[in-house]
Amino acid sequence: MINFRALSWTLGIVFVFLITLIVESSVEARVGGGRSSGFKGSKSVGSGSYAAPTTRPQQPQSYSQPQPQPQASAGSSMFKNIAAGLAGGFLGSMLFQSLGMAGSGGVAGAAGGSSGPNILGILLLAVLGFFIYKMVVARKRAMLPAQGNYAPIEQVGGYNQPSAINQNNYQNDNQVEEQIHRLQSIDSSFEPSRFKDYCVDQFFNIQAAWMNQDLSSVKNVVADELYRSLEADLNKLKEAGQLNKIESIAVRQTEILEVRQEYGVHYITLRFYANLLDYTVDKRTGVLISGSNTTPVKFEEFWTYSRNENDGFSASNPWRLTAIEQAA
């Protein structure tokens, strides 16, 4: 025969477990849903990979804006209280039912023992457990971050405003040429080959400043946020007594991949393909810590430069490095 009393206790435990899942899922949503944040590794300057801004900038920014996390609603808190009360009430009723059954076992046995109420309770618990399970699954799915969900493209000042930098979704050659012509209609002094030469020069200058552990010489050509991030990484090396050496740099190819404008700020992304020696030594002893001082490494990176048209297009307002992204 089925032991309905044991089955009732089992379903009770399952019920409490499902209640716990609901409470736990609401806590995870507040913490951030398990999404990570921070910078990925880079083969050249610093150890950070910095993404270009994806939202309307008040000033050019050099990092991805974190997505706001959903706030726990008042209804969620009230539901948890109700759920906790239900769980406590259920356990209490199960306890008293158990005591009552134990005390009246002789009478029930003499009368033949009706198990109808127990079966009805089990059915109710099963239905309730099913709905709670569906609620848990729905809440979990709702908390998952949307993948590839970017803002729609808008026309701003004659430029296509892109949603977010994606190294697999840059403009094609015709689009780049078209956007360059539009930029030249605003800045008649812009010339692609000179711009690439300028970026290559800054590429070498920034690498040299990094190796010398003094970024002050390139502060005027690096955006403020990116500068602070690089400086923080450099300070970590200094505190550890280490020196990251970048030597024998050979730039094999540079290519303009994207030209765009966002609310008066112009962005141009270049692809750098190069070889170099990249290794870290103990600053005091010179002992090799990581990398190789004999075998060059190849790397492909995307450097984004920006300039605010409100500050003019003269040499006093140079293009500034806003983002560094390493190719996958």
pLDDT at site 138: 60
Tell me how far the alpha carbon of residue 86 is from its chain's centroid: 38
CB of 152 within 8 A of CB of 235?
no
Exposed e or buried b per residue across 36-66, where buried means at least 16 C-beta atoms within 10 angstroms of its C-beta: eeebeebbbbbbbbbbbbbeebeebbbbbee
pLDDT at site 79: 45
pLDDT at site 106: 44
pLDDT at site 184: 95
pLDDT at site 153: 26
Give the chain's residues under pLDDT 70: 1-123, 127, 131, 133-169
CB of 159 within 8 A of CB of 261?
yes
pLDDT at site 322: 96
Model's pTM, two decimal places? 0.52
- Span 53-68, pLDDT tens digits: 444 333 333 323 334 4
pLDDT at site 32: 24
pLDDT at site 48: 36
- Residue 106: count of CB within 10 angstroms of its CB: 8
Total count of residues recorded for the chain: 328
Rounded-to-integer distance, Cα 258 and Cα 239, Å: 38
Share of the chain above pLDDT 70, in %: 50
SS3 sequence, 68-133? CCCCCCHHHHHHHHHHHHHHHHHHHHHHHHHHHHHHCHHHHHHCCCCCHHHHHHHHHHHHHHHHHH
- Span 209-256, pLDDT tens digits: 999 999 999 999 999 999 999 999 999 999 999 999 999 999 999 999
pLDDT at site 316: 85
